[in-house]
């Protein structure tokens, strides 16, 4: 098969795919959230403030007056032995009624001078409104970190 024919085949197959890219907003990326669990969970704006170790002043009354709160998720990778670890958002795609979110763990370089402190990296993402049944978060290798139903 010629290179031109192969390229055309892959372009046509990509057009036949039922998945499409979706852009998400990163609400917070922190190297040290105030939590100890791993995985994926739905959170509120007040929860996000607590993850930062702060408090949302007047948030409860503002949330009710402003209408429904955004669909936010936190992705956490658990305890790490030093500073310098984190999570990065790599992209998302809609596959049917499932949103597949890809994140990547970042780590300090092996020769980095880091604080010797236990950290809990996390990433908070806003999920767009739409006809979703499920949100699945995977790492760069495709391993499922966690899953939520809407």
- pLDDT at position 130 is 83
Q: Are 78 and 37 in contact (CB under 8 A)?
A: yes
* pLDDT at position 12: 39
* Sites in the chain below the pLDDT cut of 50: 1-16, 61-64
Q: What is the pTM of this model?
A: 0.79
The pLDDT assigned to 59 comes to 54
The Cα–Cα gap between 77 and 140 comes to 14
Structure confidence at residue 63 (pLDDT): 46
């Amino acid at each position: 098969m010629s290179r031109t024919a192969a390229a055309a085949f892959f372009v046509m197959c990509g057009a036949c795919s039922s998945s499409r890219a979706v852009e998400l907003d990163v609400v917070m990326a922190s190297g040290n959230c105030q939590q100890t669990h791993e995985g994926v969970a739905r959170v509120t704006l007040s929860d996000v403030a607590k993850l930062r170790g702060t408090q949302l002043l007047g948030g409860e009354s503002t949330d009710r007056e402003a209408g429904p709160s955004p669909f936010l998720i936190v992705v956490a990778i658990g305890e790490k032995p030093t500073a310098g670890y984190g999570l990065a958002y790599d992209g998302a795609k809609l596959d049917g009624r499932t949103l597949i979110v890809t994140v990547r763990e970042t780590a300090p370089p092996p020769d980095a001078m880091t604080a010797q402190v236990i950290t809990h990296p996390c990433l908070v993402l806003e999920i767009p409104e739409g006809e979703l049944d499920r949100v699945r978060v995977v790492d760069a290798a495709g391993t499922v970190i966690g899953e939520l139903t809407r």
